[in-house]
Amino acid sequence: MKQYLAEKVEAALASLGYGGQVIPVFERPKLEAHGDLTTNAAMILAKSMGKNPRAIAREIASALKLEREDVVRVEIAGPGFINFYFADSFFTRKLSVILSEGSRFGRSNTGQARKTQVEFVSANPTGPLSVGHGRQAAIGDTIANLLEWTGHDVTREYYYNNAGRQMRKLAESTYARYQQLFNASYPFPEDGYQGEYIKEVAERLKTERGDRLTAMEREAALSVCKEAAETVLFEEIKKVLARIGVRFDVFFNEDSLYTTGKLQEVVEEFRRRGLAYEKDGAVWLKATELGLDQDRVIIKSTGEPTYRLPDIAYHREKFRRGFDLIVDIFGADHVATIPDVLAGVKALGYDTEKVKVVIHQFVTLMRDGEQVKMSKRSANFVTLDELIDEVGTDAVRFFFIMRSISSHLEFDLNLAKEQSEKNPVYYLQYAHARIASILRFAESEGVIGPDRSMLASADLSLLKETSELVLVKLLLAFPEVVSSSAESLEPHRVPTYLGEVATAFHRFYHEHRVVIPDRGLAGARLALCGAAQRVLANGLQILGISAREKM
């Protein structure tokens, strides 16, 4: 419809001699009284022409040649908006599309099968996933879903490092806990990982290998400990991710960049371009030459790379693997590293416009109106696993997604657990279940058959009530919500929209009985119910939340 109007308005503009000076853009007005679509083309034109916007709007409106019966009214309003009003039948007719497309309704091909990578979580296997990782997992997976729904060819990727200092510390911590099982006074490293999970790994080692590690050389034993800890922790991480419905296509090991010489290649490339130099025994990246405020070390004087070098090399690999769109999802604590990495990749000749960095803010857990203090050292550290235990997977995913990514997220544990109307997850699921119940009832009354195929043949023009039409229009907006949400990488728009759908449905349900003696109208209303259920189900699927038949 936008397409049709755009053509007509452009033709009108051309006939008035305004051709090419403005591209008419249409949007849905906030207020229903302002029509179904509106354009501000006249106001934009007024600026460059120095004329009265309302006068131009009137010119355009009278030059419009609309032959369709779908547009019932064109109005000039406010400072110079041109508002278009469509016939109710235009909307109700399109409702059948929802039923015929079913689980595909809302999908589009705006992504044009572009090879897309979404990198998220990327936690090193040094401990259990935190609540913050949980938010990232939910955001990443939902963005990946949205990109799939808009026709991208998506790879979900997890980047991790099982080498380096942190893992060394993990090995030493595990080794110490293992030794303590035989000798309680064995010293624990000062900056070791305190968590209980380390003790569990040690116990497991004891079960599997007895005391044999105590007799081994320290380095050899450490290597066994490292491997054991890594294996156990990664299993745990994957298990928790699976609990909230997140799976990855690729686990990319940072270490592979070392063993295949990729890091060296990048350093050589920087040298060749005159962007690397040595100072104080370290290798520096001339970041100042790339527009940043200070040069950065990429290889320490010890010979070890800093995190920047592998990150740059990794991103270079992303490009080399042929991704057209690269989405990185990071927590707010990583913001500072991004400019360096992007500048480095750009210096290597890659188009960093293809990299979209999504930075999410932190999560605070609230219990009984008080903030739950979380620190890795203390005992009240809440893991993602524990959070899922407490509130369930649907609530976890919903709560992590419902706020905009750039906002701090206040996670109210009491609310998430509450099985009542206050809980926004239940509100959506209830709407879906309620519709399922209506359809079951209609079936038991013999109004529709078990396969529900007759919904598609209902006479939708019978839908004339306000609350019916409000719902119809909202349902038809779903594909646009999906595509704009995907394009802007803002998954929170989906739950916001679904909440509106649920509200519109509940209102319709409250005002009008569905299963009524008038079989024609009953059929139309059942079709509307079916369409609403479909939109809710598809939306919930994008969010990775279950759509329930009963509650």
Map the footprint of RNA across residues 211-230, applying CB under 7 A: none
Residue 173 touching RNA (CB under 7 A): no
- Per-residue burial over 414-437, b if 16 or more Cβ lie within 10 Å, else e, is ebbeeeeeebbbbbbbbbbbbbbe
Site for RNA in 82-111 (CB under 7 A): 83
CA distance 279 to 94: 68
Q: How far is the CB of 399 from RNA (least distance, A)?
A: 9
Piece of the chain touching RNA by CB under 7 A; list 7-15, 43-51, 59-67, 265-273: 43-51
Residues 45 and 57 sit within 8 Å (Cβ to Cβ): no
Q: How far is the CB of 165 from RNA (least distance, A)?
A: 5
Piece of the chain touching RNA by CB under 7 A; list 102-110, 144-152, 219-227, 435-443: 435-443
Q: Which residues pair with 383 in a beta bridge?
A: 130
Please count the helices (runs of H) and the strands (runs of E) in the chain: 21, 15
Q: For RNA, what does the binding mask look like between residues 53 and 72, x meaning CB under 7 A? A: x-------------------
Site for RNA in 237-256 (CB under 7 A): 254
CA 89 to chain centre: 35
CA distance 483 to 493: 11
Which token pair is 189?
Answer: 């490293």
Axis-axis angle for helices 41-49, 53-63 (nearest 10): 120
| H or E element, residue 106 | none
Site for RNA in 269-308 (CB under 7 A): 279-282, 293, 296-297, 300-302, 304-308
Residues 17 and 45 sit within 8 Å (Cβ to Cβ): no
Q: Which is nearer to RNA, 67 or 421 (CB)?
A: 421
Q: How far is the CB of 424 from RNA (least distance, A)?
A: 6
Q: Which is nearer to RNA, 144 or 436 (CB)?
A: 436
Q: Report DSSP state, residue 130.
A: B
Piece of the chain touching RNA by CB under 7 A; list 128-136, 144-152, 329-337, 346-354: 329-337
Site for RNA in 500-519 (CB under 7 A): 502-503, 506-507, 509-515
Residue 421 touching RNA (CB under 7 A): yes
Q: How far is the CB of 315 from RNA (least distance, A)?
A: 13
Q: Report DSSP state, residue 546.
A: P
**Which listed residue (23, 332, 454, 456) binds RNA by CB under 7 A?**
332
Taking the alpha carbons of 307, 310, 314, 320 in that order, is the dihedral positive or negative?
positive
Using left for φ > 0, alpha for ψ between -120 and 50, and beta otherwise, residue 11 falls in: alpha
Q: For RNA, what does the binding mask look like between residues 6 and 35, x meaning CB under 7 A? A: ---------------------xxxxx-xxx
Q: Which is nearer to RNA, 90 or 411 (CB)?
A: 411
Query: How does strand 250-253 pair with strand 363-367?
Result: unpaired
**Which listed residue (64, 433, 482, 501) binds RNA by CB under 7 A?**
433
CA distance 49 to 44: 9
Q: Which is nearer to RNA, 79 or 349 (CB)?
A: 79
Q: What is the CA radius of gyration of the chain?
A: 29
**Which listed residue (164, 253, 317, 390) binds RNA by CB under 7 A?**
164
Q: For RNA, what does the binding mask look like between residues 362 and 401, x meaning CB under 7 A? A: x---------------------------------------
